[in-house]
Amino acid sequence: MYNRQYFILFGKKLTKEDFLEATSALLDVILSKEDATLEVVEGPTIKNSSIKSNEEIVEEVFARLGLSFSKEGTRYIRDIVLYYMLHKDKMVNIKVDVHPILFEKYKVGYEKLRACMREAIKFAMVKPTPLTKKLFEDNIKKNKTVPVKEFIVKVLDYCKYYAISMEK
C-alpha cells in the first residue's frame, strides 16, 4: 500500500500538523468575518488560459517520460491516470476501479491490458528521458523493470504535483 505522510500544497511539503494549523487559522479568519456581507456581481467570466486541463497535463508529462502515444498501453495508462486525477479519494486498484471502464471502452481483457501497459513502460525505459531517470532511478540503477502499479502511482503523483505547480 502506498502511504504518504505529508501533503503537497503549492509545491511545498506540509506535514499533517502544518496543514491542521493552516486550516485552523483559516477558520478563525472566516469566523471573525461572520458579520461581513457577500456581494455577488454578475458579469462575464474570464477563463485563465494558463491553467491546463488534466488531459493536457497528463499528455505533457507522458511526452516528457518518452511514452509513445502509438502504443495501446500508453492510452490505457493515460486513461487510468486521468481517472485517478478525477477521483482523488480512491486508492489505486486497477482491476476493481478502472478495468470495467476500460473494458467497456476498449473491449480488452485484464491480462492483455496489463501486458500492453508493461510493453509501453518497457518502451519508455529503453531510452530514459531526464524525467524518467528522476522518477525511476532506483529501477534503472538495478536494471529492474518497473511494475505497472508503481509506474502508475509515481506518474499520478507527479501529474498531481505538476498540476499544482501550474496553478502558481
pLDDT, tens digit, 9 for 90 and up, residues 107-128: 999 999 999 999 999 988 888 9
Question: What's the DSSP call for residue 82?
Answer: H
Q: Which residues contact 74 (CB under 8 A, 6 or more apart)?
A: 62, 67, 68, 120
54-166 CATH choice from 3.40.50.970, 1.10.3720.10, 1.10.1740.110, 1.10.10.10: 1.10.10.10
Task: pLDDT tens for the chain, 168 residues: list them.
Answer: 444 555 555 556 666 666 566 666 555 555 554 444 444 334 333 334 345 788 999 999 999 999 988 899 999 999 999 999 888 888 888 888 899 999 999 999 999 999 999 999 998 888 899 999 999 988 888 888 899 999 999 999 998 888 777 665
- As a residue count, the chain comes to 168
CA–CA gap between residue 39 and residue 35 (Å, rounded): 13
Q: CA nearest 131: which of 145, 107, 112, 151?
A: 151
Q: Which residues contact 11 (CB under 8 A, 6 or more apart)?
A: 161, 164, 165, 168
Break the chain into its structural domains and give their ranges: 1-35, 54-166
Q: Are 97 and 108 in contact (CB under 8 A)?
A: no
So what's the pLDDT on residue 92? 85
Using CA atoms, how far residue 69 sits from 31, 43, 76, in Å, is 50, 41, 10
- Torsion angle defined by CA atoms of residues 151, 152, 158 and 159, in that order, rounded to the nearest 10 degrees: 150
Helix crossing, 99-106 with 110-126: angle to 10°?
A: 90
